[in-house]
Structure 1
Amino acid sequence: MLNTLAIDPDYVEANLNTAAIIMNMANQALMDLNGDKSVSDADYNTRVETIKADMGKAVPYLEKALSKDPNNTNTLSNLKSYYIFIQDEDKANEIQAKLEAAR
């Protein structure tokens, strides 16, 4: 995907696929963390913050895709999921409104 983006940074599908890879890796890290019962609360919170930062790396790809295809419900859904995860209710609601308008 990244090679494709080097050639055409506006290619919507490559941006979406890159974002999906990043988000899937972060989701897997979160599932692994949640399954590890030996993690202290402090370590858990630190690792969740790292996962949030890692997942945030998908946002520029989602925003790029959205700028080229503003009614793409997959892009909007992924952005909404990210904002819910980082507990940014205002942004999640903003994306939800765009999602409803796109349907």
Structure 2
Amino acid sequence: MRAYTDIRSDEELDHMMNQPLSVVYISRNGCSVCHALLPKIQQVMETYPGVEFGHITADDYEEVAGKLSIFTVPVVLIFSEGKELLRDARFIRIDEFRESLDKMTVLLER
């Protein structure tokens, strides 16, 4: 499974968001859905080695909720150069997430 960068501060989050293409997964410690979904997201991310991949545990970095307007978990966000391109929360469909990443990587290669 693909490793991720633990994000615990505004500076680390800003760095991740400003990459050419990045995925940020947000979860909480007591969320069983979050823990079940993370390995599936990691597996998808193996196919995209050029895409930065970060994980935020909202219990450890509580400011993220206000900064990114997070109201529920799990959340997967895709950023490109500081802009949010995709937000999917609560019921995340892996196939749709993969399709979105496919489209975005093709667009960025142009």
TM-score, normalisation: structure 1: 0.29
Higher relative contact order (Cα pairs below 8 Å, separated by 6+ residues)? 2
Higher helix share: 1
